[in-house]
Amino acid sequence: MVQPAPDGGLETITYGELVDRTDRCAGALDALGLDVGDRVVVESDTSADAVATILACATLGLPFIPVSPGLPDERLRAILAGAEPALYLQGPDGRRTGVDAPIGTGRFGPDGLRTERAPAARGPRRRRVVTAVDTAYIIFTSGTTGRPKGVAMSHRGVVSFLRGVRTFDLLTADDRVAGTAPLQFDFALFDIGFALSHGATLVPVPRARLTWPRRFLGFLRDAEVTHVDAVPSLWRPVLRHEPEMLTELTDVRGVLFSGEAFPPHELRSLQGALPKARFLNLYGPTEVMAISVTELPNPLPPEAERLSIGSAVPGAEMTLIGPDGRVVDEPGVVGEIYLRGPSLFTGYWNDPETTRRALVPDPLDPASGRLVLRTGDLASPGPDGALYFHGRADSQVQIRGNRVELGEVELRVAEFPGVTGAIAAVLPHDDEPRLHVFVTRAAGGPVPDAKNVADFVRAVLPAYMVPSHVHVVEAFPLTANGKVDRAALHAFA
Ligand SMILES: Nc1ncnc2c1ncn2[C@@H]1O[C@H](COS(=O)(=O)NC(=O)C[C@H](N)c2ccccc2)[C@@H](O)[C@H]1O
């Protein structure tokens, strides 16, 4: 791993050192008398000590719950109430206070684990064995209802997805993978497993480097990274402010993205700056870590309006199911994505009802007792059999009774001269829901005129898909995981 050194440069932690730190941390954890299944909250950004701590937890069968330092107190309290962890750990510079007994507290750092308050006395250990189906980690996602859902992922789940990814031979031991996701996002856990499972070097990008494009690109250049893992929205400010500096990243041979659809026009701009790089679209919900890895053509064909999410990694399967419960395999026909395979999550923590709604009897083989994950995502088969993403089932919107493909509106508006990004949303109004479009423009470029944008859309799309409001914004609101926060857009209206 490569990370900022205390003196301001970069330091390298070898695999040997990582193993030593992991073993030392495991020894200290073991001395606390925790039992297989006892949870440990790890509050940190990705660092060698955080990785050593979560690997130590995994070795002892202690499900770790990664949270990022920026997490608001009341959100942490909700997670602590839900997961009832035995122990809460933060890094040497962590500033969190207010984690009360009976939860134990401590800090991890280069010199190992220091306990501040021992966890409340546990009963005698009931388990001696850590099995593949035990919980490796619990990722709390802000469920649509606002109450956090804990996605419990087994060791088998993680390892089987990472094994599937290895069949693509994407990395060698000489590669240096830049990770940009916060530790509480399973994209960050993937980055760790992705690098480690190839013996490659993980280069977590310090969060302070992510806010300014020049600083971000400067870090990637100085750390000589060969792969950059990031959600598509992370590239938007880079493309807007530093497109030419991007072309200097001649070491970068792979760009992996996930979490949201990469707008085609923005992807083409990124590809233009990195003509030699491979572009890999990773798709999948946290409930399976992910399910598919698809290399996209560089450059993307000019007529491409949707990106392929390919097919599941070897050993897993993506199936499209129609409203009638039958398989959809006709090109162009939309169905809901169902996932099958060993990387399915165990369930939502302490929430059997929500789990039953997600892990359902296999519609193609109900008698088998096998459960499959219904994702709530829509896709259609392409002529090549690969699946093309169509968005979330619950984000299909209607205007005056007509189904609006927000992606189509966004595609058209993004072609308007001077527009660099477009997000469409149907927002409630006193009389009827209205179609709004939020646009970003080239730095210093002209402010697109709302009427001209509407006329530009009217020229090719039906009237109900013409936006009634156009908002020019500096940047789109983002979630804690860096995706466009569509729910927050109405605040901009
Ligand atoms: N490549 C995509 N195109 C388009 N929409 C997408 C895509 N990847 C997700 N999504 C969307 O995001 C949802 C999943 O959101 S999530 O549970 O927060 N998980 C993630 O976003 C990250 C994901 N678990 C992951 C972890 C590790 C490696 C790769 C991917 C999916 O159901 C899709 O709606």
d(CA 320, CA 330): 10
Structural domain includes residue 297: no
Q: Residue 424 is part of which domain span?
A: 398-490
Q: Residue 144: what pLDDT?
A: 55
Does residue 49 share a domain with residue 189? Answer: yes
d(CA 141, CA 301): 35
Structural domain includes residue 170: yes
H or E element that contains 242: none
Give residue 40's pLDDT band: very low, low, confident or very high (50, 70, 90): very high
Structural domain includes residue 65: yes
Contacts of 103 (CB under 8 A, 6+ apart): 41, 80, 85, 86, 87, 88, 119, 120
ipTM over 0.95: yes
Structural domain includes residue 224: yes
3-state secondary structure of 232: helix
- Which of the two residues, 304 and 394, has the higher pLDDT score? 304
For a mutational test of ligand 1's pocket, the pick from 228, 258, 345, 387, i.e. the residue with the most ligand atoms closer than 8 A to its C-beta, is: 258
Q: Last residue of some domain: 265, 282, 299?
A: 282
Structural domain includes residue 476: yes
CB atoms within 10 A of CB 5: 10
d(CA 158, CA 63): 13
How far apart are the CA of 188 and the centre of ligand 1, in A? 12
Q: Which atom of ligand 1 is nearest to the CA of 389?
A: 4
H or E element that contains 227: strand 227-230
Beta bridge partners of 320: 337
Calculate the alpha carbon distances from 122 to 85, 90, 129, 377 in Å.
Answer: 12, 21, 17, 42
Domain count, the chain: 2
Structural domain includes residue 234: yes
Query: The whole model's pTM is what?
Result: 0.96
Does residue 403 share a domain with residue 276? Answer: no
Report the chain's mean pLDDT, rounded to a whole number. 95
Q: What share of the chain is helix, strand, coil (3-state, %, to 5)?
A: 30, 30, 40
pLDDT(18) > 80: yes
Q: Which two tokens stand for residue 332?
A: 């162009």
Helices 406-414 and 450-458: crossing angle in degrees, nearest 10, is 120
For the domain that residue 410 is a member of, what is the CATH number? 3.30.300.30
Q: Last residue of some domain: 252, 282, 312?
A: 282
Q: Which atom of ligand 1 is nearest to the CA of 375?
A: 32
For the domain that residue 44 is a member of, what is the CATH number? 3.40.50.12780
Give residue 145's pLDDT band: very low, low, confident or very high (50, 70, 90): low
How far apart are the CA of 391 and the centre of ligand 1, in A? 11
For a mutational test of ligand 1's pocket, the pick from 283, 318, 478, i.e. the residue with the most ligand atoms closer than 8 A to its C-beta, is: 283
* pLDDT tens digits for range 75-124: 999 999 999 999 999 999 999 999 999 999 999 998 899 999 999 988 88
H or E element that contains 297: none
Q: Residue 493: what pLDDT?
A: 82
Question: Is there a contact between 409 and 469 (Cβ–Cβ < 8 Å)?
Answer: no
How far apart are the CA of 104 and the centre of ligand 1, in A? 33
d(CA 45, CA 175): 22
* pLDDT tens digits for range 336-362: 999 999 999 999 999 999 999 999 999
Q: Last residue of some domain: 248, 282, 316?
A: 282
How far apart are the CA of 475 and the centre of ligand 1, in A? 21
Which candidate, 343, 227, 336, 228, places its Cα nearest to that of 292? Answer: 343
Half-sphere exposure of 491 (CA within 13 A, CB side): 7
Structural domain includes residue 417: yes
Structural domain includes residue 100: yes
